[in-house]
Amino acid sequence: NLNIVLCINGAFPDMQAARLACVSSGTLITQSLDVSVQEGETAKITCCWNGSADRVRFTWLKIQTLIENKTVIDQSTGFQNEQKNKCSVLTLETMTKNDSGKYICKVTVEIPVLKEALGNGTTITVTARKSTNDSKIEGNLPYPVIIALGVVVPLFLITLICFCSLRKKKGKTKTPSIKQNV
């Protein structure tokens, strides 16, 4: 127990940023916090560890079923590569409600000494996509159509009234000249 406390406090001071798990060797596994997405969207969750090894395997499991298995060989020449080798990102595209569940990351150090550790898991909740009917009112007309009609109809009526009154005025001025010619 003391080793776990030291591992969390020493290696990852911001406990709000990720779910944590430690193995007795002091290796720290961090996983993304729980995620909620809508159907059809993409979810990305991460798993990182703080150890060092020549070869590490990241395995993603959902209900004891293998989702992804990736082996990383440390060929780092600089800090960026080293950091890259310490994390795995699981990308799940076009999610459905069946994809909801707890995703657990298993880190296996293969070389130099075989060690395994499990993360605490990230729960992904997939919710139904919001209905497109929210932008409609009675009569099944969408708001943009109603707004357009609300602008166009009064303008048309004003134009029609102006046209009729101009025509009426022109008609009155022409009538006397016709009578004079007869």
Judgement on whether residues 74 and 50 belong to the same structural domain of the protein = yes
**How many residues appear in the chain?**
182
pTM across the whole model: 0.55
- 83 closest CA partner among 92, 99, 98, 72: 72
Domain holding 161, by residue range, is 137-181
Of 175 and 5, the one with more pLDDT: 175
Q: Is the pLDDT confidence value at 7 over 50? A: no
The Cα–Cα gap between 36 and 125 comes to: 5
Q: Are residues 72 and 107 in the same domain?
A: yes
In a shared domain, residues 80 and 142: no
User: How high is the pLDDT of residue 17?
Assistant: 43
The domain tally of the chain equals 2
- Please give the pLDDT value at position 3: 30
Residues 16 and 86 in one domain: yes
Question: Pick from 30, 58, 37, 47: which is nearest to 100 by CA?
Answer: 37
Specify whether 98 is located in the same domain as 174.
no
pLDDT of residue 82: 35
Query: Do residue 10 and residue 55 come from a single domain?
Result: yes
| 160 shares a domain with 107 | no
Tokens of 159: 């134009």
- CB atoms under 10 Å from CB of 27, counted, come to 20
Q: Is the model more confident about 35 or about 140?
A: 35
Looking at the fold, whether 141 and 126 belong to one and the same domain comes out as: no
More confident residue, 77 or 129: 129
| CATH number for the domain that contains residue 99 | 2.60.40.10
Give mean pLDDT, residues 88-99.
90
| Claim to verify: residue 53 and residue 79 sit in the same structural domain | yes
- Verify cis geometry, omega within 30 degrees of 0, for the bond prior to 176: no
**Helices then strands, each counted (H, E), the chain:** 3, 12
13 and 41 belong to one structural domain: yes
Query: Which residues have C-beta within 8 Å of that of residue 38, sequence separation ≥ 6?
Result: 126, 127, 128, 129, 130
Strands (E), the chain: 19-22, 28-31, 35-38, 43-49, 55-62, 65-73, 87-92, 101-111, 115-118, 122-127, 136-137, 141-142
Residues 102 and 50 in one domain: yes
User: CB–CB of 100/126 below 8 Å?
Assistant: yes
Q: Are residues 142 and 72 in the same domain?
A: no
